[in-house]
Amino acid sequence: MPPRAYRRLENEERRRQLVERATELFGEYGYEELSMSRIAREAGISKPLLYHYFPGKRALFAAALQSAAEELGAATTPDPSRPPAEQVAASLLAFLDWIDRHRAAYGKLLRSLAVAEVRELIDDVRDRTVQQILDGLNPQGGGDGPAARAAVQGWLWSIDGACLAWIEGDLDLTPQQMQGMLLGGLGGALTGAGASLPAPA
């Protein structure tokens, strides 16, 4: 391998490691409480070297969010060969499993909504989830109408509160138990809007 290509791979690996460590630290301390000096110290590098890879804390935070979003997106991408109701159930369980593994990070994430990148990330996840559910609605049972859209959006907003209560209230519930409770809420919201997901064959 040419020296230049090797150095590029080495730099990419160092950057990946920094993003990984920063993601852990942002999850532990939150955006406002964490400084670049602390990140450099915890990562075992000099502050100038950290600034070589990232021009500032916001850029590093954006990279950490992007990494988390990619991991979560890969975990929750539905299998299109499965019925819509099963897709929603599987994606929700994958989401809850991810939260269970990253409890501190998720709580800090939701409490960092004043940061533009966090709002954008949360909004993007919500928009994709809303569309995924609406695409799977029974055409004979409400379809993609305004009432169904409002019901799904309201349900998604309620998930944030339920998950915060779960991870910060030390509730003794498994991801599977949370999934069952939240799916019941979705079913009730859709029924109230005159919509439904087709039952599995």
| Structural domain boundaries in the chain | 3-60, 77-192
Instruction: Find the mean pLDDT for residues 104-111.
Output: 72
Give 159-189 pLDDT, tens digit per residue: 888 988 998 887 889 999 999 999 999 999 9
For 59, half-sphere exposure in the C-beta direction (CA atoms, 13 angstrom radius) is 10
Task: Tell me which residue has tokens 């929603």.
Answer: 88
pTM exceeds 0.85 for this model: no
Instruction: Find the mean pLDDT for residues 117-142.
Output: 73
CA dihedral sign of residues 76, 81, 84, 85:
negative
Query: Is pLDDT of 17 > 80?
Result: yes
pLDDT at 28: 82
Q: Enter the DSSP assignment of 199.
A: P
Between these two residues, 77 and 120, which has the higher pLDDT value?
Answer: 77
Query: Is pLDDT of 6 > 50?
Result: no
CATH architecture of 3-60: Orthogonal Bundle (1.10)
- Among 154, 130, 134, smallest CA distance to 143 is for 134
